[in-house]
Structure 1
Amino acid sequence: MVPDFGQQALLSLLVNLSCIVITWWALQAINLEKIIKKGKVIQAKVLLILLTITIASIVSSFFINYLLWSQQLPFLF
């Protein structure tokens, strides 16, 4: 019932990458120019990248864990 490790790894990669893309797209709606100091463009971009990775990691972990837990439910009975 649980997929083999290769399929699980591929699914995890795809979920992580798609969450990164969606998070990056969503964070583009924030107007960072108002809160970033002048001349700190590089730091602002690095912050945006790190924030994207952090949020996407949390979201993708939730979905991957939810999928794995739902596959383990039949073992309860």
Structure 2
Amino acid sequence: MEELFGQQAIMHIMIQLVFLFVTWWALQIVKLDFFVKNINSPQAKVLQILLTIAIGSTAANFFLSYYQWATRLQYLF
């Protein structure tokens, strides 16, 4: 049973990291010039990192919840 928890923890960490990477990659084409005065400032980079974390973790949590719901469907029948 503990081995299962360890495997799930590794899967959750890997999925979170993959979604963070994909979100960072996708946000590279967004022009933040409309929202930020100085795009090269450290504050702009921190904003981009925080946006990546917010969007990436939300998408990863949705995916993980969907996966858990799908695996629990076997108990319906």
Q: Deviations over 1:22-77 (max 9, x none)?
A: 00000000122343213871111000000000000100001111111111111111
Distance across 1 between alignment mates of 2:45 and 2:25? 14
The residue type equivalent to 2:73 in the other structure is: L
1:57 aligns with 2:57: yes
Report the equivalent of 2:31.
31
For structure 1, the residue ranges without an aligned partner over 5 or more in a row are none
Secondary structure of the equivalent of 2:37? coil
TM-score using structure 1 length: 0.87
Larger RCO of the pair (alpha carbons < 8 Å, separation 6+) = 1
TM-score using structure 2 length: 0.87
1:41 aligns with 2:47: no
Distance across 2 between alignment mates of 1:7 and 1:39? 41
Q: Which runs of 4+ in 1 moved over 6 A?
A: none
Q: How does 1:65-76 map to 2 (within 5 A)?
A: 65-76=65-76
Distance across 2 between alignment mates of 1:39 and 1:57? 24
Identity %: 44
Aligned residues between the structures: 75
Cα RMSD of the aligned pairs, angstroms, is: 1.8
